Structure formats: structure tokens, C-alpha cells
Amino acid sequence: MLRASFGFGGGITAPQKTAALAGYDILREGGTAIEAMVAAAATIAVTYPHMNGIGGDAFWLIKKEGKKPIGISGCGYSAGEASIEWYEEREIKSEIPTRGGASCVTVPGAVASWEKALSLVEKPMPILDLLSNAIAYCHNGFAVTQNQSFCTETKLNELIGVTGFSDAFLLNNQVPEPGSLLKQIALGITFENLGKYGLDSFYRGDIARTHADFLSKNGSPILLDDLTAFTAEFVEPIKARISQGLLYNLPAPTQGVSSLMILALYDKLTGIKVDSANYIHALVEITKRVFIKRNGELGDQRYMGSNVQDWLSDKILNNLFCNLDLSKALPWPYNPKKGDTIWMGAVDREGTVVSFIQSVFWEFGSGLLCPDTGVFFQNRGAGFSLDPGPNQLFPRKKPFHTLNPAFAILNDGRRMAYGSMGGDGQPQTQSAIFSRYACFNYDLQRAISSPRWLLGKTWGDTGTSLKLESRFDQSLIKNLKSAGHNVELLSAFSDLVGHAGAIVLNREGLIEGASDPRSDGSALIF
């Protein structure tokens, strides 16, 4: 049985072991949690490419000792040429494509977010040192995980015709078997250039010019001006006060407010036993009401009629709570929000805690890969709508983001970073982890390993059913069905319910970390 890891020096948790090791190496060398996370983010972009990459976006929540939490938004905006008219001219009128060049609508923001985070480090290590593990895995190769092999096989029909995909992610034109050696030589050279010329060169250097030319030739509206004008931003986190402490997440266009609203509404309930049918029913029904509001109103803050911090007011929460039915399931025909990603957390010896998340949207993003750089691009722009609404496409607009890194300061002083991958699954998994750990005093590893549920769809799956891992008691399943839930059973440890993780810094300096047995990761604490 997995157990949480403990130590006082530093630690990191990641859903892929090579990333955890890369961050661990930096921490052992005396680096900060921020530097460790950059090393881990670069490495996992190489060794877990179906879930993330440097052609995608990233978000940070950083809490330094004695200072307020800081948010960083590495959310790329849509191209200046990206408009409904641009797509109509190409006879695309119903929805933005999900693969290929026309799905590459937004600037990749991940690398800019790394640079922004490193600006908070007083004496940063050389960039090349932080990228050294990623470079080594590119040139020497890495072992393909079961998860990557499965995703490649299931999504191959969508991706095989997209420029660059097959050469990079197939071996001899075949899906790589788990354990296969896969190299990314061109990407390794790109990382070497980033180390030599600085992370900024991704947007204002030869790399940027190469990408702009490639994207234009392959049907994307992204131009060089879009890349050179982009910078990541410091943003003020949104917060919610509940009985257990203060919760933080990122503002729009992320769905961070959804994660906070679910826990804030659950905090209004009493007398519910953990991991009972009532517990799951309550959280699922709360999730439904929060998602309805999210789907109708959330997008780029500049185009919204309200500020998402206001959604956490007593007035709005009470209105949602009054509509909650604790005995009957609300019918759920709504289309789920897709999204695949990685979440990681880190703590250093100075007491800095980092919650970090990085993504290319769908599995392998757009699939479009530049052979000169080895970079493949996200399809986050496919999440824009061509119809009126908060997420309607306009030039230089930020898309709705499922990504949201969570952080909490508990009443006793514990600082907790936690999160998961998985579109609609992210707020749900966050609610399970936090409530089990902070409300019901589960051991951190038990809070993550315990059976989970999922309303709707997450990565690699479709459907609107309530999915339950088979380890739940049969009487619980029967009670949920009786309440009107359309229950679907998953395997005992299904990665459909997310690759979760958490790391906690206690007041006395003890660090506690846990990773998900459903993932390929590890929590390394020393």
C-alpha cells in the first residue's frame, strides 16, 4: 500500500516519475521550489507528451513564507487574425477544428510562465541547468508509459494525418509499446537554445520566427507579431473562506472559481459521513449547479458581466445552495468540458509552496509539430465558440481554461498545494482530495488513493454518466442509483478519474507529499 512521503528539506510530487526526479535534483542542489518546478515542467513536457508540452499553456500559484500567494497566468491569447470571419473565409462556420493548423488559435503560454516565475527567484540557477534533464531525455530517449501508448492508439485516427505527429510519436509508423525508447532530438536542440539564449527567445528569437513561418504555412492564424507581443502575467488569486481555512485558485479564464465554489457550498452542509452515498451525492449535485453557472458565464474576464471573485459571495452561494436537492439527482444532459493536463506541487527549505499546472488541451493538443524545433502546439483555441456567448472567438482573447492549480492555508497553519488533470474532473477531484484530508482527517495518501467518482467526461472519454470506481461499496452504488444517478462503473484504479497529487507544508517545517497510484508519478521528499 502506498504511503505519504515525509521530510524537512524539500519535496515535489508529479504524475510522471522523471519529472519528480528532475525537480528533486534541483531541490537537493539548493534550488528553490520555483526552479525545481521549471525543471520538472520541462522534463514532463518531454516524457509525458500526450498530456502537456511547451506548445501549451501553464498556470502557477506560489506562496512564499510571510507573503501573500501570487498567481501567474501563462494563458495564451488568440491570434490577432483569429476571428469568425477568418474561419468563414476558409469555409469553417460551425465550430473550430480540433486538430491540425486551424485548431492552433492561441499563443503557447507555458514557457513565458516559467520565465515569469523565475523572476521571483533572487539568485536563480542557470537556465541550462534547469533544462538539463529535459535535454538528456530528448537526446538519450525515455521509456514510453502505458498511458502514452494507450492515448496514442486511441487517438491515432485523429492525429495520423497531422503534420509532424507520426514522425515524432510513432516508431516505424507503429504505436510505441509501453517501455519503448522514444527520442525527441529536435526538441532537445530547442531546449539547448532556450538555455543558451534565454526563455524569452521562444517568443522573440529564432525559435519564434521558425514557429511563425511553420504555423502560417500549416493553416494557423498565429503570426510572429502574436508571439512577440505575448507575456505571461502576474494575477491576483481568488479566494474563499471555509471552516477549514482559506482556499485559493486562479481567476478567469480558468475554472478556478468552480473548484472554490464546490468546496464553499459543501462547507454549508453538516452531518454527512465521508465516502457515503450522501457525501458523493452532495458533491455531485453541488458540482452540477456550479457547472451550469460556469458554462453559461465563464470566459475571458474582459468579456464577462461580473467578476468571478463575486461568485464566491454569500448571496450567490446561498442562491445556489437553496436549489440543492439532497435526495434526488438533477438530470445531467450537458456536454462536458474536455481537457488533458498535468499538475505538480513543490516545497523548498525556505517554505515556498508551488502549485503548478500545464497542458496542451486535448491529448497531444493539435497534433501539429514543427520538425525544425520538435514543438507541437496546443488546440486550446478549439475551445472557443463561433456562436455568441462568454467564450465566443475574438482576436487577442483568452479562451476558457479548465486548468486550475489549487492551494489552501488551513486554520492550523498547514499550507497545501493540490490538483489533478482532467477537464471537468479537476474541480471534482480537488473536492474529493481536500474534503477527505482537511474535513475528515484522512492521511494525505489515503485521500488521494481512495476510490473516486467523476460526473461527465474527462480525458480520453465521453459521456455524461456518474462514473464510480468499482472499489465503492455495492450498497453505496445502489443508493446513488436510487437517487436517480446514471451510474457507470470503472476499474478499481481508473485514470479516467484523474492523476491527482498533493503536498503539504506543516507549521513545524515537516513536508508531506503524495502521488496518485493511477498515474506514472511519484512524491519525493527529503
Tell whether the model's pLDDT for residue 355 goes beyond 90: yes
What residues act catalytically?
A: 341
Instruction: Supply the pLDDT for residue 105.
Output: 98
This prediction has a pTM of 0.96
Residue type, 60: W
Instruction: Average the pLDDT over 400-411 and give the result.
Output: 96
- Within 13 A of 244's CA, how many CA atoms are on the CB side? 23
Instruction: Average the pLDDT over 371-391 and give the result.
Output: 93
Instruction: Supply the pLDDT for residue 102.
Output: 97
Which one, of 133, 234, 149, 143, lies nearest residue 183 by Cα? 143
Share of the chain above pLDDT 90, in %: 92
User: For 125-134, how does the pLDDT look when each residue is reduced to its tens digit (9 = 90+)?
Assistant: 999 999 999 9
Tell whether the model's pLDDT for residue 445 goes beyond 70: yes
Question: Where along the chain do its domains lie?
Answer: 5-234+345-383, 240-338+403-525
Instruction: Average the pLDDT over 169-174 and give the result.
Output: 97
240-338+403-525, which class in CATH? Answer: alpha beta
Instruction: Average the pLDDT over 186-210 and give the result.
Output: 98
User: For 324-342, how does the pLDDT look when each residue is reduced to its tens digit (9 = 90+)?
Assistant: 999 999 998 776 666 679 9
Which one, of 458, 455, 493, lies nearest residue 472 by Cα? 493
> Band of the pLDDT at 1, cuts 50, 70, 90?
low
Number of Cβ atoms within 10 Å of the Cβ of 271: 5
Beta-carbon contacts of residue 37 (< 8 Å; ≥ 6 apart): 12, 23, 60, 117, 344, 346, 354, 356
Share of the chain above pLDDT 70, in %: 98
Instruction: Average the pLDDT over 88-100 and give the result.
Output: 94
Instruction: Average the pLDDT over 371-387 and give the result.
Output: 94
Residue holding cell 506548445? 55
Instruction: Average the pLDDT over 35-62 and give the result.
Output: 98
What is the overall mean pLDDT for the chain?
Answer: 95
Please tell me the least confidently modeled range out of 330-339, 390-399, 494-503.
Answer: 330-339
Instruction: Supply the pLDDT for residue 334.
Output: 75
Tell whether the model's pLDDT for residue 460 goes beyond 60: no
Tell whether the model's pLDDT for residue 458 goes beyond 70: no
Instruction: Supply the pLDDT for residue 495.
Output: 87
Rounded Cα distance between 195 and 209, Å, is: 18
Query: Alpha helices, DSSP H only, in 267-374?
Result: 277-297, 314-322
Tell whether the model's pLDDT for residue 281 goes beyond 80: yes
| Sheet architecture: strand order including 353-361 | 233-235, 70-74, 57-63, 353-361, 340-347, 11-14, 522-525
Instruction: Supply the pLDDT for residue 338.
Output: 65
Instruction: Supply the pLDDT for residue 340.
Output: 74
Tell whether the model's pLDDT for residue 463 goes beyond 80: no
Tell whether the model's pLDDT for residue 101 goes beyond 80: yes
**Do 142 and 169 contact (CB within 8 A), yes or no?**
no
